[in-house]
Amino acid sequence: MTPGHIESPLIQGAQRYQRLTLINGGSIRIIDTNNLVVASNPIWGYDYNPSYGTYNGKFTKLNILYAMALENAASLADVVNNTTAALQYRQQAAAVRTAVNTYLYNSTANFYMISDQQTVGIAQDTNSLAILSGIASELNSSIPQRLLEQMKQKLRVLVANGTGYLSTTADGIPSGTSVIVSPFISFFHAAAAFEQDRSDLAFDVLDSVWSPMAQPGPYFTGTFWESERPNGYPGASTSMAHTWSAGITPILSKYVLGIKPMSAGYTKWSIRPQPGNLTWAAGSVCTPHGIITVNWNNSHAEFRIVVNIPRSTSGICFVILQSYL
């Protein structure tokens, strides 16, 4: 892609489809007879969350992500008109999703385990991804709400400068490591809450995790920290300008402003703001077809929204009024 030029959804889809095909093809070699990815090599089981370290066995999050990758590959196969591959990927994804619910969900305690070898401890990202992927709702439509309440109860802590959400409970990490507040992982948590129309919980996560970084003081940098200690402050070796902690940016666009793609390249879209207690929002999203802009005001007595969309696209715009007025 050259500066100022947006490639067509078909070209982008074809390129990404080729990459996903290679990745998914390699993953098949480590699938067991129960349709789960097994991390027998420490390289496969090493997680980006420093609280986890290395896990062998059937890592729940890895399997959820694998199912999501297969579904994305199917969508891209649709874009390039490979219906055979699309069907194959969807069938593979369905088998993995069923296996996750069968073997990696603790029905007694109501949470998705970190792995088949780490059966205690509630992990923020594992359970958030179970909601975002739709795997949790396939098990039971009430499970996502119950998982959100579980995470609020078990992971929300009082810190020196407010509240925070731990990335996992203390019993879910290897010895020698410590729990953290992770903006990266909290992105998935907030997104999962918004997807379940729980803007109250979503904004609580956003306020708890990102507000400490925005407060004036000796740790303020104007950018996002890599992580926070459980007391709400960065550690001695914490990066104070970390890109992966900027998840609040797409959160604000996708859920608060409310612009979501419903097909490749925003050919179809959905605009559905979730304002919470905010009184206004304005922004735009660049697409291959042009710019989508949204501007809304919420006086709590009247909700007004102005939308501008490219002519070659279509979608739906709506607000659940009883939640906001």
**Ramachandran region of residue 232, left (φ > 0), alpha (ψ -120 to 50) or beta?**
left
Let me know if 29 is exposed, middle or buried by CB neighbors in 10 A (0-12, 13-18, 19+).
exposed
Higher-pLDDT residue of 12 and 215 is 215
**pLDDT at 295 exceeding the cut of 90:** yes
Q: Which CATH class is domain 259-325?
A: mainly beta
DSSP for 195-221 reads HTT-HHHHHHHHHHHHHHHHS-STT--
Structure tokens belonging to residue 124: 């923020």
Q: What is the pLDDT of residue 48?
A: 66
What's the whole-number average pLDDT of the chain? 87
Higher-pLDDT residue of 46 and 275 is 275
Q: What is the pLDDT of residue 258?
A: 97
**Spatial contact of 168 and 121, defined as CB atoms under 8 Å apart:** yes
For the chain, the structural domain boundaries read 7-120, 141-257, 259-325
Higher-pLDDT residue of 238 and 54 is 238
Tell me the pTM: 0.89
Strand-pair partners of 143: none
Higher-pLDDT residue of 164 and 294 is 294
Q: What is the pLDDT of residue 91?
A: 96
**Ramachandran region of residue 131, left (φ > 0), alpha (ψ -120 to 50) or beta?**
alpha
CA dihedral 131, 135, 138, 141 (to 10 degrees): -10
Q: What is the pLDDT of residue 301?
A: 82
Q: What is the pLDDT of residue 266?
A: 94
Chain centroid to Cα 128, Å, comes to 7
Instruction: Find, among 300, 221, 315, the residue nearest to 268 by Cα.
Output: 315
**Spatial contact of 56 and 117, defined as CB atoms under 8 Å apart:** yes
DSSP code, position 81:
T
**Spatial contact of 73 and 24, defined as CB atoms under 8 Å apart:** yes
- Which of 6-10, 115-119, 123-127, 146-150 has the least mean pLDDT? 6-10
How many other CB atoms are there within 10 angstroms of residue 81's CB atom?
A: 9
